[in-house]
Amino acid sequence: MFAAASVHRAAHRPAEVQKSQLLSIKTGGCAEDCGYCNQSAHFDTGLKASKLMEPEVVIEKAKAAKVGGATRFCMGAAWRSLKPRDEPKIVEMIQGVKAMGLETCMTLGMLEDGQAETLKEAGLDFYNHNLDTSPEYYRQIITTRTWDDRIDTLAKVRAAGISVCCGGIIGMGEGRADRIGLLTELARLDPHPESVPVNHLVDVKGTPLSGSEPLDGIEFVRAIATARILMPLSVVRLSAGREGMSKELQALCFLAGAGSIFVGEELLTTANPGRGADDAMFDTLGLQPMAAPSGPRAQAAE
């Protein structure tokens, strides 16, 4: 913890935490069988599938997110890969959100040749594509997409000049060696991902991982701290699972190097702390919302 906090203070402003908001722009019906996800068509979770949102609806939601204090707006579609027919709407979303001065991030599954360049030209700042877990544990979680598929998509994103958002999920029944393996693989990406979301599994009934034994909170903090030490300049994002965390546990995550949270009452399709709870936590901990989109802070905190 001390080592992680020292690294964090050397490269970031520790009292600043970015508020990001994540919107599901296309929900459910996904062809993938990710064992943690209630949006998979393989599982009966009671989630109703929907079509891709219209760009004007997404842009209005981004405006509301900005009013609520978010400086980063992330958009996620539950599908295996981006289809060419959907590219015009995706481009319009990126351009509209970007025009507000918000940092933009998309997660759209796998990408074909040329699609990352299209997203870059539209102004996309970040593309999210998580490794999820270690290579050794990967097949226990997903069978419809390979580890190499994920690496290939990340390579396309990087080659197009888009910043990489890539992390994983903790608490899926993996051992400590698998958590170390995930973080090691993330740190082996060259350059490191500019954004590293660390998610805690959210138990959703109907998914194969429902009923997994909850991970000890200190083990989760250790993952945050290790990510900070291994990738000093990356923004480590405290992501899914905050609804089940005490403010004391979240405080340890911030101390260990987390520099971002997702705000809003819903994170894709699962519960997230309300704005009032987050504002109260920031006030209690003496944290300040990051005022404007910003990558890693290269100057030491005073």
Catalytic residues: 30, 34, 37, 74, 105, 165, 237
Residue 4 to residue 133: CA distance in whole angstroms:
21
Q: What is the DSSP letter of 81?
A: B
CA distance linking residue 236 with residue 216, whole number of Å: 20
First to last CA, the chain: 20
Q: Contact 265/274 with Cβ under 8 angstroms?
A: yes
CA 47 – CA 178 distance, rounded (Å)? 30
Cα Rg of the chain (Å, integer): 18
In one letter, which amino acid is 57? V
User: What pairs with residue 127 in β-bridges?
Assistant: 106, 164
Decide: 23 and 73 in contact? Cβ < 8 Å: yes
Contact status, residue 138 vs residue 132, Cβ threshold 8 Å: yes
Q: What angle do CA 86, 164, 67 make, to 5 degrees?
A: 70
DSSP state of 179: H
CB contact set of 180 (below 8 Å; sequence gap of 6+): 134, 226
Q: 165 and 128 in contact (C-beta within 8 Å)?
A: yes
